[in-house]
Amino acid sequence: MTDMPDTTTTSDPSYHVPAEGESDDAAGYYVPGEPIVDTKAPGGPIDERWSTRKFEARLVNPANRRKLSIIIVGTGLAGASAAATLGEAGYVVKSFCYQDSPRRAHSIAAQGGINAAKNYKEDGDSVHRLFYDTVKGGDYRSRESNVYRLAEVSTNIIDQCVAQGVPFAREYGGLLDNRSFGGVQVSRTFYARGQTGQQLLIGAYQALERQVQAGTVTTYTRHEMLELIVVDDGEGKKRARGIIARDMVTGAIETHLADVVVLASGGYGNVFYLSTNAMGSNVTASWRAHRKGAYMANPCYTQIHPTCIPVTGSHQSKLTLMSESLRNDGRIWVPKKKEDCDKDPRSIPEEDRDYYLERIYPSFGNLVPRDIASRAAKYQCDDGRGVGPEVDGVRRGVYLDFADAIARLGRDAIEEKYGNLFDMYARITGENPYEVPMRIYPAVHYVMGGLWVDYDLQSTIPGLFVTGEANFSDHGANRLGASALMQGLADGYFVLPHTIRDYLADGPFEKVAEDHPAVVEARESVQRRIEHYLTVNGTRSVDSYHRELGNIMWEYCGMERTEDGLKKAIDLIRTLRDDFHRNVKVLGSADSLNQSLEKAGRVADFLELGELMCIDALNRRESCGGHFRAESQTEDGEALRHDDLYAYVAAWEFTPEDAGESWATPMGTPVLHKEDLTYTAIEMKQRSYK
Amino acid sequence: MASVATQTSRQGSGPASGQAAAATLVQTPRATRTTIYLKMLMAGSGLIFIGFVLLHMYGNLKAFAGHDAFDEYAHHLRTMGTPILPESGALWIIRTVLVLSLVVHVYAAVTLWRRARRARTVRYQVKKHTGAIFASRLMRWGGVTLLLFIIWHLLNFTIGKVNVQGGATNDPYNLLVDTFDTWWLTLIYLLAMTMLGAHLHHGTWSAMQTLGLTGTERARVRSKRLAFAVAVVVTGGFSLVPIFVLAGVITK
Amino acid sequence: MRVTLKIWRQPDAATAGAMHTYELDTVSPDMSFLEMLDVLNEQLNAAGEEPIAFDSDCREGICGMCGLMINGEPHGPEVTTTCQLHMRSFKDGDEITIEPWRSDAFPVVRDLCVDRGAFDRIIQSGGFISVNTGSAPEAHSIQVPKEAADRAFDAATCIGCGACVAACPNGSASLFMGAKITHLGELPQGQAERDNRVVSMVSQHDHEGFGGCTNIGECTAACPKEIPLDVISQMNRDLRKALQHGH
């Protein structure tokens, strides 16, 4: 059923060389590498692959599990659920988080809901339809086997969470309620008011703490992973065998060794400085693994959410998302005339308002997908018709107006539906959204890219597994609403515990000594880095670098990307990175809580990741999902995919630069490995929302 | 600073380490060793006192019925329950229950007070008390005040029967009138009754909350109203007699 | 706007701390309270003084990581978290006193950061429903009356920030515990462990050194999620039932 052209067969050695007439924008910025394939997904009918894999994955005898240790970095939905489940199974689990409690991981901030193909509404939903919607929503850039499995286990998640006591919304009859979410036509989203992420995370957190009491899991809070330990197993195979972590309270550099390492460390949206991520969300765990050999896949795929509260000034530290359900009743507009932009919006007559989404997309109107709505808002503001305060000379905001909805349904009905969101908006902006239209602007929200994993969620480093937002696997180029929670819990509760046993069946692996050269090297590299940040003694704060990096990324690698812009961004990032290492100012010491020092390490890694994101975006001269290349659009400005050229996962391998005379290994030219995406159960189509 | 030392020892045991955390989990939890159990003892004994002061107040109002009625009521307290019980038997049973309740109430209060002090050894530089009624913040020193008052009150009316206007007397009514004819004694008494009202205002609600009877918003609102009513009735009822004595309405 | 800040500074748990005074005159009313501290920290860093350590993560009022005692009120004058408090709640020229949560069960880690590990241990002692992954029955096999589900949800909105402890004159964590006990106790799934849960959690709470509850209500006034005092009553009731059942 595939309409894939056969020019993209992996066996063709000339695969990396662009064919005649194709462009290779990133030429010179990368080195073509061997194709990469996922060898773990079984063949056969798509609906049997997961059962086949579960059956074929080898078992570990319960008595042996006590001898096998697992390190899990991160305690969000993916990490906490995995730690709890593996603890229940009897493995020895060490769970790490940088926050003061596992319960604070940023999964907690998810508002909308969690999808599951329960078909409780009998409205035609099924595993296959959830699979179909997710692949289509991801703009045909995800791996179909993984997505099918995700849809398949989605139903188990709801059962598990309900049994744990997650207080999902219910109907009067006592059964679970569902709503339709994110533009899909079936009601498959389970929710707990606007705090679904919180409730699911607390459920996983409680399961995790239960295992702490049972003695199977040990938690290390206020600990940050700063290096991955990769050890040669004597048979020429390099395996992930532990991490170097810093106790953020005492500053102690600790070595933790285990049979397998799981990264569930979340996404890297904070590379943009301003995002809806938590202040501490960072890429360090993933980036350190990447530097040690784990490939980074599709790093440029970023989701920009259209309904966030706009920036008010240069002091802004983070952006706040408001549920996109607001677009169900609110109408989005900007003034038609530039001179109206600083007027009271209520004084602007109807004929002087441009309801641009309703105008351009008459059939979907204000409900177009996230990426389209975001880009459209950017265009209006770039055109000088944005509203709200001027920041750096531009008004970045559009109106989301509820006046019509209030007139139609009454204020009480609106309050009932959106009261908590309106309150939040009023608290942050000091404006009353019942009286004055809300102002919204897009913000970075989620990254679909992440470490490359196979069907078993194992990275290119044996023994290093990656789950949740930290991996790349399930969302393609765009994530649908209510799918992130689903993926995090699917990975942690139901996928990883099955796939990891196949790897652990070879264990316990030979014990690694603390003075093993690989361990010593890892520890020393951490100590070197820390010492470096504390001794540069320059003039600029870490935050100022982070903010500048964010501006570069937002400007050139944000909602719309161009060849020239990306090349410029790469230059700017390289200059900034160089300056950072010469001129950053980090005060205090290494042996106590030092938040500047923590941030310095994270920003240093963002400064490297940012470059790779730009290179990835430069290479992908097509528009798909959250990635929009200005060079690849239809005549009327819509995203244009090139399935003939880019139906692949771009998996990047890190190479250290040869002439590494400075304190740390600088970045070399990355190597691009392509994994072909073939679809057997679904046909590739161009999206249209007109 | 006293707190620093304890903080250090906690820190030293590894605050972030799960192993240290697991080691400090309570191994054999018992409901009877909890602070809530102490609170329940306090609530139970407190309810006994509420019953007692209501009856006591009712009895005091007999003063309005005149000398003979009041003394007959006082005498009846000694003879109630006879002949099954010996003379003053019932009274001693009540006294025993009250003394035991007092011991329990004070013991629980002192224990919880000490706990509370240990729970925050470094004080705030600035602290507001949003959400607390004033009475709730008077419970401990108010309790001490009431204890002192009870001692004086017992010396005055029960044990010593000290009549400031004429030595010991066996006539309760005359003792009462003589006492409250003295303005400063009435003043002390009225202040003590105000304190009792405050104690009951928070204490009655608190007892019901501690016993788990206020689990819904409605029940909470109702019990807060009830607590206020008890406080007003008891304080008001006890205050009537001394005020009327001082005003010359109740006389010998 | 110009503000005078009196801030508790303490290098680590073992060293005594003290109040320090800082002046800040570049405050915008649109800043969040923590952004105001960010600006102060930038200035301190530029002047060669170590920035003030304070906790925050999501900065949207849900993770519970932030929490400062602001002018004697946990999370400051509004019913919200510190990260959602904005400078427009203050006036030009205000003096603002900022202290960490004061509780011996929450030792100061540095400056305004405290260790709330005690909350995790209270949850470890029983704040869960024991159900291993994969052993759950079909979700619709458990019916929960809407009222019970709603009440469970209201209690479950607790973010574990510790404001209740910070506000309580007794340093009690009863509101935090009551919220969890009510959340799980309202649901049919939570019944099997109900007696054990309350006894274990309250025992752990006492063991951690929190004070006893005197039902004053400062906790619920400080709670950014407005968890009502009813949950403490529910906890007390559960303990009474557990006593009756011989625990």
**Shortest distance, CA B116 to any CA of chain A (angstroms):** 25
Closest CA to C46 of C54, C56, C38, C55: C38
Categorise residue A334: left if φ over 0, alpha if ψ from -120 to 50, beta otherwise.
beta
Give the class (CATH, top level) of B32-119+134-246: mainly alpha
pLDDT of C62 higher than 70: yes
Categorise residue A472: left if φ over 0, alpha if ψ from -120 to 50, beta otherwise.
alpha
Place of tokens 């079936």: A186
Between C247 and A206, where is the model more confident? A206
Angle at which helix B67-79 crosses helix B172-180, to 10 degrees, equals 120
Place of tokens 């697991």: B22
The two beta strands, A671-676 and A31-32, are parallel
Find the catalytic residue in A370, A385, A602, A621. A370
A269 close to A445: Cβ distance less than 8 angstroms? yes
- Alpha helices in C6-85, H assignment, sequence order: 33-46
Helix (H) or strand (E) holding A22: none
The residues, any chain, with a CB within 8 Å of residue A520's CB and separated by 6 or more, are none
Which among A216, A219, A224, A592 is the top mutation candidate for probing chain B, defined by the most B β-carbons within 10 Å of its own β-carbon?
Answer: A219
Q: Taking CB atoms and an 8 Å limit, are C99 and B202 in contact across chains?
A: no
Closest CA to A376 of A554, A557, A559: A559
C165 close to C103: Cβ distance less than 8 angstroms? yes
Q: Taking CB atoms and an 8 Å limit, are B22 and A218 in contact across chains?
A: yes
Q: Taking CB atoms and an 8 Å limit, are B16 and A212 in contact across chains?
A: no
Tokens representing B202 are 């928070």
B60 close to B237: Cβ distance less than 8 angstroms? yes
Closest CA to A584 of A599, A573, A569, A574: A599
Question: Helices (H) and strands (E) in chain C — how many of each?
Answer: 8, 7
Q: Taking CB atoms and an 8 Å limit, are A218 and B17 in contact across chains?
A: yes
Establish whether A370 is a catalytic residue.
Answer: yes
The rounded distance, in Å, linking the Cα atoms of A198 and C102 is 26
pLDDT the model gives residue C22: 98
pLDDT the model gives residue A12: 39
Q: Taking CB atoms and an 8 Å limit, are B15 and C213 in contact across chains?
A: no
**Shortest distance, CA C122 to any CA of chain A (angstroms):** 9
Q: Taking CB atoms and an 8 Å limit, are B19 and A218 in contact across chains?
A: yes
Give the number of A-C residue pairs with CB atoms closer than 8 Å: 229
Encode pLDDT of B51-100 as tens digits: 999 999 999 999 999 999 999 999 999 999 889 999 999 999 999 999 99
Between A22 and C229, where is the model more confident? C229
The rounded distance, in Å, linking the Cα atoms of A679 and A4 is 8
Taking the CA atoms of residue A292, residue A297, residue A298 and residue A304 in that order, the dihedral angle to the nearest 10 degrees is: -80
**Shortest distance, CA A432 to any CA of chain B (angstroms):** 26
Closest CA to C123 of A156, A164, B121: A164
**Phi and psi torsions of A689, nearest 5°:** -120, 15
- pTM more than 0.90: yes
The 10 Å CB-count burial string (b at 16+, else e) for A461-474 is bbbbbbbbbbbbbb
Encode pLDDT of A108-154 as tens digits: 999 889 999 999 999 999 999 999 999 999 999 999 999 999 999 99
Give me the domains of chain A, ranges plus CATH numbers.
28-36+520-676 (1.20.58.100), 305-444 (3.90.700.10)
**Shortest distance, CA B128 to any CA of chain A (angstroms):** 23
Helix (H) or strand (E) holding C180: helix C174-185
pLDDT above 90 covers a percentage of chain C that reads 100
Chains that touch B (3 or more CB pairs under 8 A): A, C
Q: In this structure, which amino acid lies at residue C87?
A: M
Q: Is B36 on the interface with C (CB under 8 A)?
A: yes
If DSSP codes are grouped into helix, strand and coil, which group holds residue A346?
helix
The rounded distance, in Å, linking the Cα atoms of A470 and A453 is 10
CB atoms within 10 A of CB C191: 12
* Cβ-based contacts of A213 with chain B (< 8 Å): 22, 25
A121 close to A658: Cβ distance less than 8 angstroms? no
Place of tokens 């038997």: B89
pLDDT of B7 higher than 90: no
Closest CA to C184 of C152, C160, C148: C152
* Cβ-based contacts of C76 with chain A (< 8 Å): none
The rounded distance, in Å, linking the Cα atoms of A554 and A565 is 11
Residues of chain A with pLDDT under 70: 1-22, 183, 658-665, 689-690
pLDDT the model gives residue A17: 47
Closest CA to A248 of A499, A560, A584, A602: A602
The rounded distance, in Å, linking the Cα atoms of A394 and A417 is 33
Nearest to A210 among C36, C56, C128 (CB): C128
Nearest to C65 among A81, A104, A195 (CB): A104
Residues 207-236 of C with CB under 8 A from A: none
* Cβ-based contacts of A220 with chain B (< 8 Å): 16-18
- The chain A residue lying nearest C141, using CA atoms, is A175
The residues, any chain, with a CB within 8 Å of residue A349's CB and separated by 6 or more, are none
Q: Taking CB atoms and an 8 Å limit, are A279 and C59 in contact across chains?
A: yes
Angle at which helix A595-619 crosses helix A542-556, to 10 degrees, equals 20
- The chain C residue lying nearest B2, using CA atoms, is C16
Nearest to B15 among C6, C99, C115 (CB): C115
> What value of ipTM does the predicted structure carry?
0.98
> Would you give the end-to-end CA distance of chain A in angstroms?
26
Residues 47-66 of B with CB under 8 A from C: none
C12 close to A593: Cβ distance less than 8 angstroms? yes
* Cβ-based contacts of A212 with chain B (< 8 Å): 18, 21-22
- SS3 per-residue string spanning B12-30: HCCCCEHHHHHHCCCCCCC
Q: Taking CB atoms and an 8 Å limit, are A221 and B19 in contact across chains?
A: no
The rounded distance, in Å, linking the Cα atoms of A143 and A297 is 12
* Cβ-based contacts of A223 with chain B (< 8 Å): 16
pLDDT of B17 higher than 90: no
Point out which residues pair with A220 in neighbouring strands: A96, B17
Chains that touch C (3 or more CB pairs under 8 A): A, B
Q: In this structure, which amino acid lies at residue A615?
A: I
Tokens representing A175 are 């059964």
**Phi and psi torsions of A40, nearest 5°:** -95, -30
pLDDT the model gives residue C193: 97
Tokens representing A599 are 């941030």
**Shortest distance, CA B23 to any CA of chain A (angstroms):** 9
**Phi and psi torsions of A591, nearest 5°:** -105, 30
If DSSP codes are grouped into helix, strand and coil, which group holds residue A66?
coil
| R_g over Cα of chain B | 23
Give the number of A-B residue pairs with CB atoms closer than 8 Å: 23
Angle at which helix A595-619 crosses helix A563-583, to 10 degrees, equals 160
**Shortest distance, CA B120 to any CA of chain A (angstroms):** 21
Tokens representing A27 are 């030429």
Nearest to C14 among B11, B209, B211 (CB): B11
Chains that touch A (3 or more CB pairs under 8 A): B, C
pLDDT of B132 higher than 70: yes
**Phi and psi torsions of A261, nearest 5°:** -120, 135
pLDDT of C112 higher than 60: yes
C167 close to C235: Cβ distance less than 8 angstroms? no
The rounded distance, in Å, linking the Cα atoms of A92 and A83 is 9
A616 close to A563: Cβ distance less than 8 angstroms? no
Q: In this structure, which amino acid lies at residue C11?
A: P
| R_g over Cα of chain A | 24
pLDDT the model gives residue B11: 32
Categorise residue C67: left if φ over 0, alpha if ψ from -120 to 50, beta otherwise.
left
Q: Taking CB atoms and an 8 Å limit, are A221 and B16 in contact across chains?
A: yes
Q: Is C220 on the interface with B (CB under 8 A)?
A: yes
Give me the domains of chain C, ranges plus CATH numbers.
3-110 (3.10.20.30), 116-244 (1.10.1060.10)
pLDDT the model gives residue A578: 92
The rounded distance, in Å, linking the Cα atoms of C132 and A416 is 37
* Cβ-based contacts of A103 with chain C (< 8 Å): 63-64, 120, 123, 160
pLDDT the model gives residue B166: 63
Average pLDDT over residues B39-53: 97
Nearest to C125 among A103, A213, A219 (CB): A213
Q: Taking CB atoms and an 8 Å limit, are A321 and C60 in contact across chains?
A: yes
**Shortest distance, CA A503 to any CA of chain B (angstroms):** 26
- The chain A residue lying nearest B17, using CA atoms, is A220
Helix (H) or strand (E) holding A372: helix A370-380
CB atoms within 10 A of CB A11: 6
DSSP 8-state secondary structure symbol assigned to residue A110? -
pLDDT the model gives residue A184: 81
If DSSP codes are grouped into helix, strand and coil, which group holds residue A599?
helix
pLDDT the model gives residue A659: 54
Closest CA to A601 of A664, A520, A550, A668: A664
Residues 89-148 of C with CB under 8 A from B: 97, 99, 102-105, 107-109, 115, 117, 120-121, 124-125
pLDDT of B21 higher than 70: no
Strands (E) in A396-548, as ranges, are 398-401, 438-447, 450-451, 464-466
Taking the CA atoms of residue A317, residue A319, residue A320 and residue A325 in that order, the dihedral angle to the nearest 10 degrees is: 180
DSSP of chain B, one letter per residue? -HHHHHHHHHHHT-TTBHHHHHHTS-SS--GGGSHHHHHHHHHHHHHHHHHHHHHHHHHHGGGGG-HHHHHHHHHHHHHTTTTTSPTTHHHHHHHHHHHHHHHHHHHHHHHHHHHHHHH--SPPSS---TT--GGGGGHHHHHHHHHHHHHHHHIIIIIS---TTTS--S-HHHHHHHHHTSHHHHHHHHHHHHHHHHHHHHHHHHHHHHTT---SHHHHHHHHHHHHHHHHHHHHHHHHHHHHHHTTSS--
Q: In this structure, which amino acid lies at residue C212?
A: G
If DSSP codes are grouped into helix, strand and coil, which group holds residue C30?
coil
**Phi and psi torsions of A437, nearest 5°:** -60, 145
The residues, any chain, with a CB within 8 Å of residue A471's CB and separated by 6 or more, are A450, A451, A452, A453, A457, A459, A491
* Cβ-based contacts of C136 with chain A (< 8 Å): 156, 159-160, 162-164
pLDDT the model gives residue A391: 86
What are the residue ranges spanned by the domains of chain B?
32-119+134-246
